[in-house]
Amino acid sequence: MQRSVWALAALSLAACSQPPAGNDAKAPEAAAPAVAEVKSTAPAGAYKLDKTHASVTFRVNHLGMSRYTARFTRIDAALQFDPANPSAMSVEASIDPKSIETDYPDPKPDFDAELAGPNWLDAAKFPQITFKSTKVEPTGANTAKVTGDFTLHGVTRPVTLDVTFNGGYASAAMDPGARIGFSAEGKIKRSEFGLAMGVPAPGSTFGVGDDVEIFIETEFTQPPAA
């Protein structure tokens, strides 16, 4: 209530200070809508990934014609959650690169196996893709930049994800444990991880783009207290 009063007062002062309309008058800029903090009663502590409500998808530019989309189906993660001190939170995640799925329509060639093979992800030699957070920087009521060590194809580099906290609860009628949810987005250059096959020549889009967009949807759970 107090925040609303101050907002109305600020708008009134802004209106009174506007210059009179005329040829040189500039239209006032619309105020950005306030972002409400999401509701959560979830307690702090260790959380595990709910694999039935989690996804990791990625997109790459294909010939300049479309953003080709694929996903990984075997993922895992653990989170240390602290709503009172978000910068102290941490997360570790892993992906099985052999679980890549592209929905390639024909059984031959096996395109998923090709991407998991030695010319691309080389999953036999590098059996895990991992992310281990090193810094959490809150950027808003429900958002943060999460930086971590990202390992792909045997190469480790820092990657920053834009993360949104979607809310949580301590328990529910059909869900006795605590549950929290997050969405995240990020981008990497695959050539920086030794995956440069098919990257278009400078000034061209003929090939498979170097930029890889990553989209993550997750829910984490904590069992009820004994």
Beta bridge partners of 92: 78, 132
Distance of alpha carbon 66 from alpha carbon 208, whole angstroms: 10
- Asked if residue 145 has pLDDT above 90, the reply is yes
According to the model, what pLDDT value does residue 32 have? Answer: 56
pLDDT tens-place string over residues 113-133: 999 999 999 999 999 999 999
Q: Which residue has the tokens 């967009």?
A: 213
End-to-end Cα, the chain, rounded Å: 39
Q: For the residues 179-196, what does the mean pLDDT come to?
A: 98
The continuous run of DSSP H or E covering 166 comes out as: strand 155-169
- Asked if residue 10 has pLDDT above 50, the reply is no
Cα–Cα nearest to 100, from 158, 53, 60, 44: 60
According to the model, what pLDDT value does residue 204 have? Answer: 96
Confidence of residue 31 (pLDDT cuts 50, 70, 90): low
Confidence of residue 106 (pLDDT cuts 50, 70, 90): confident
According to the model, what pLDDT value does residue 136 have? Answer: 98
According to the model, what pLDDT value does residue 222 have? Answer: 96
According to the model, what pLDDT value does residue 71 have? Answer: 98
Tell me the C-alpha to C-alpha distance, in Å, between residue 33 and each of 2, 56, 160: 17, 30, 26
What six digits make up the tokens of 72? 């990984």
What six digits make up the tokens of 31? 């105020």
Q: For the residues 178-191, what does the mean pLDDT come to?
A: 98
Tell me the C-alpha to C-alpha distance, in Å, between residue 143 and each of 87, 138, 208: 11, 6, 31
Q: For the residues 186-202, what does the mean pLDDT come to?
A: 97
Phi (first) and psi of residue 7, to 5 degrees: -65, -45
Domain count for the chain, please give it.
1
Residue 36 lies in a domain: no
User: Reduced to 3 states, what is the DSSP secondary structure of residue 216?
Assistant: strand
According to the model, what pLDDT value does residue 160 have? Answer: 98
Confidence of residue 30 (pLDDT cuts 50, 70, 90): low
Tell me the C-alpha to C-alpha distance, in Å, between residue 107 and each of 54, 62, 137: 27, 21, 45
Residue 87 lies in a domain: yes
Residue 6 lies in a domain: no
Task: For residue 20, say if its preceding peptide bond is cis, omega within 30 degrees of 0.
Answer: no
Residue 12 lies in a domain: no
Residue 49 lies in a domain: yes
Residue 158, domain CATH: 2.40.128.110
Domain boundaries, position 80: 42-222
Residue 145 lies in a domain: yes
Residue 1 lies in a domain: no
Residue 115 lies in a domain: yes
According to the model, what pLDDT value does residue 2 have? Answer: 32
